[in-house]
Amino acid sequence: MNTASQSTAVPNTMYSLFEVSWEVGNKVGGIHTVVSTKAKTLVEKLGDGYVAIGPWLLGGASPDDVFEEDASFSDFGESCRAMGVPVRIGRWKIPGRPLTILVEFTGLYSKKDDILKELWERWKVDSIEGQWDYVEPVWFGWAAGIGIEAWWKDRIAPEGAACAAQFHEWMVGPGMLYLKHHVPASGTVFTTHATMLGRSLASTGKLPEVGLAGRTSEEAARAAPSGAMRSFHQASITRPAAQPKSTGST
């Protein structure tokens, strides 16, 4: 039986869990496997209290191959569009068919200076060296945070329910930082699968303590040469995302 095509039960729940990743509905690497293979179990426990959030990518392959839109959420979609973050809401075509929000984030480009300014002033996230492969995920993470805030206001807070959001890797760290400030009632979990600095040090064949050479992680990241080793801007996001006010996992 094809479990990916089955309908999802929608039990009542007073707890919601959001799971945010660049690889929800967007198979790139191992994180896609991590998220997609545990979704069925989470749906069995939480029903539509489990919400996966991924990017709505306008270029490339159509998301319709892996995503089925649900028109019953059109009112929520319109409210998000009014906030400058268009979304599609429906089912990810994997076992469990979790409720999924795909977030379109390019509209935030016009607000990029304000977003980067807030990231710097509140959390000292240094984006000055970030290229497009850095800023694009930043917009998505921020947009995902806005989408969670809208869902919380519309469907969670009025019921007096609780929620938490899990963010995978530095790419969506800005969304976690957004929630910390704008929805402090939400729990947050930051999961790093491999830090950018750790990857850079590993590529040299040196043990971490040797690669750090007595420096802090930030000092080592800033000192790394440009190119594949450059990781300071990503590390700059990882640091505040992994602070004690959040739960960390790896």
Q: What is the pLDDT of residue 219?
A: 76
Q: What is the pLDDT of residue 244?
A: 55
Q: What is the pLDDT of residue 232?
A: 65
> Does CATH number 1.20.210.10 belong to domain 13-195?
no
Phi/psi at 19 (nearest 5 deg)?
-125, 115
| Predicted TM-score (pTM) of this structure | 0.84
Q: What is the pLDDT of residue 205?
A: 80
Task: Give the residue extent of every domain in the chain.
Answer: 13-195
Count CB-CB contacts under 10 A for residue 103. 26
Name which of 32, 87, 95, 91 is nearest 65 in CA terms: 91
Q: What is the pLDDT of residue 50?
A: 96
73: tokens are 């959420």
Q: What is the mean pLDDT of each run of 10 residues along the chain (250 residues)?
A: 50 81 91 93 94 90 86 93 94 96 94 93 86 89 97 92 93 93 93 73 77 76 58 68 63
